[in-house]
Amino acid sequence: MATASPSSALPRRPALTNVDHDPGAAWRHVDWILVVAVAAIAGVGALMIFSATKGRRGADTVDPFFLERQGLYVVIGLGVMAFTAAIDYRRLRELAPFIYASMLFLLFAVLTPLGSNRRGAQAWFTLPSGFQLQPSEFAKLGVIIMLASYCGVSTSSGELLPMGPRRIAKALALAIVPLVLILLQPDLGTALVFGAVTVAVLSVSGTQGRYLLLLAVLVVGISAGVLRSGVLQDYQKDRLTTFLDPTRATDKAGFNLNQSKIAIGSGGLVGKGIFEGTQTKLRYVPEQHTDFIFSVVGEETGLLGSSLLLALFGVVMWRTWRAAVMANDSVGTLMCVGVLAMLCFQVFENVGMTMGIMPITGITLPFVSFGGSSTLACFGAVGLVLNVHMRRFS
């Protein structure tokens, strides 16, 4: 029987009550702090989206389209969160191969004529009534579930199986296959999220430092290779490298970044007020309701409002980490760690790119940026965390 070193064993919380025979018992352990924090962030996002888009048809008109559409996404997202939390994550572990295969099928199908091309990326399915589905957003959840299910295998004594070279290679293969399909779209930003999730899950599952270092080198090498190859168009390369030389105001990417920094800086301590941002109302910042939504937050609510939003994200990260530590088994821990890595990376990258300290990758700000697929995927990810937390005693 395989054994693992004591350091690789994750401490488990003893069962305090038996909920196996009471299906409703798990719902008595919902983490309401996490739910309220996520709802508050989504509320801020809806308000900022409305501010960024309400005058798109003219200065004297109010266009509620984006607010109504985002409100619909949030309502559906809450349903997705509840649904994801309702299915025992140990059942999801059994379904992991099916979920993973379905994810690969969608990622492949979107590259065919069935998919739609927007802004140089073949990444969406066009649905009736103008809705669009982006499979790569949901693929993040598929990879988290699959990696956690594979890396979380334990011995009969409850210790994680050692992550030797062979198991690491298999885990990397599980992540690389969908990553390659996403790079073919191309979507380097989402691919980087996959990299962050993979490194985090492998780190917590007991992978030795030298293997993690090799993995980091591999991620950097792949990123550099993509930049040098013909996969990305010139304007996409400019977006990724502009933060290294933000003085290139004559370039479109440089202009966009500079306008974002002006918006955030002009907000000062308390901001110009909701609906009063000049950069926002004049629409100087591109994609200010999606990728650059944080520039609206910075301009209209200032340092205090921006800090409050980041503090709410901090609460979400804290509760997710708490759920990982308190999980009943290794699979639950790794699922929470994967979600934590996904959310942390997206928040850091999105906020960083609006301030010129990170490359412009098109990664959305969770629960705040406008977008159906991103919103639903983020709610689904939180549902996984609630799922694990609710069943920590069973």
User: 148 Cβ partners below 8 Å, 6+ apart?
Assistant: 93, 201, 331, 332, 334, 335, 337, 338
Query: How far is residue 322's CA from residue 4's CA, in Å, rounded to a whole number?
Result: 24
Answer whether 256's CB lies under 8 Å from 286's CB: yes
Give me the pLDDT at residue 153, please: 82
Q: What is the pLDDT of residues 57-85, one digit of tens each?
A: 555 566 788 999 999 999 999 999 999 99
Query: How far is residue 133's CA from residue 13's CA, in Å, rounded to a whole number?
Result: 39
Query: How far is residue 185's CA from residue 107's CA, in Å, rounded to a whole number?
Result: 9
Give me the pLDDT at residue 255, please: 76
Least confident of 30-44, 238-252, 291-305: 238-252
Residue 250 CB coordination number (10 Å): 7
Give me the pLDDT at residue 36, please: 98
Give me the pLDDT at residue 204, please: 92
Cα–Cα distances (Å) from 57 to 54, 64, 307, 371, in that order, read 8, 10, 31, 20
Work out the mean pLDDT of the chain and round it to a whole number: 86
Residue range 33-38: average pLDDT?
Answer: 98
% the chain with pLDDT above 90: 56
Verdict on whether the full-model pTM lies above 0.85: yes
Give me the pLDDT at residue 389, please: 94
User: 172 Cβ partners below 8 Å, 6+ apart?
Assistant: 198, 215
Query: How far is residue 89's CA from residue 81's CA, in Å, rounded to a whole number?
Result: 13
Give me the pLDDT at residue 253, please: 64
Give me the pLDDT at residue 243, please: 67
Q: What is the pLDDT of residues 232-265, one digit of tens each?
A: 666 666 666 666 666 654 466 677 788 889 999 9
Q: What is the DSSP letter of 28?
A: G
Residue 348 CB coordination number (10 Å): 15
Residue range 44-68: average pLDDT?
Answer: 81
Residue range 303-316: average pLDDT?
Answer: 98
Residue bearing the bigger pLDDT, 11 or 297:
297
